[in-house]
Amino acid sequence: MISLCCPSRGRPELAKRLIDTALKTQKGNTEFLFYLNYDDKTLEQYKDLLDQKHYVVGRNQSTCYSWNLMCDKATNDVVMLMGDDVQIKTKHWDKIITDEINKFKDKILMVVPSDGRTKGNKDFSSKATLWPDEPLPAAHFAVHKNWTNTLGYLAPAFFWHWHVDSYTQKVARKLNRCLYLPEVEFKAKKILDDNAGKQIRENLNIRERDNFVWTKVRDRHLKSDVDALRSFIKSF
What's the structural domain count of the chain?
A: 1
Contact present, 69 and 3 (Cβ < 8 Å): no
Contact present, 72 and 36 (Cβ < 8 Å): no
pLDDT tens by residue, 39-73: 999 999 999 999 999 999 999 999 999 999 999 99
pLDDT tens by residue, 154-186: 999 999 999 999 999 999 999 999 999 999 999
Any residues with CB less than 8 A from the CB of 103 and at least 6 apart, and which?
A: 109
The H or E element containing residue 4 is: strand 2-7
pLDDT tens by residue, 184-210: 999 987 666 565 666 666 677 888 999
Q: What is the CATH number of the domain that holds 171?
A: 3.90.550.10
Contact present, 140 and 78 (Cβ < 8 Å): no
pTM of the entire predicted model: 0.93
The residue segments making up the domain with residue 26 are 2-234
Contact present, 111 and 97 (Cβ < 8 Å): yes
CA dihedral 12, 16, 17, 22 (to 10 degrees): 140
pLDDT tens by residue, 113-153: 998 766 655 566 678 999 998 888 888 999 999 999 999 99
**Rounded Cα gap, residues 35 and 70, in angstroms:** 7
> Which DSSP category does 155 fall into?
S
Residue 4, beta-bridge partner list = 32, 80
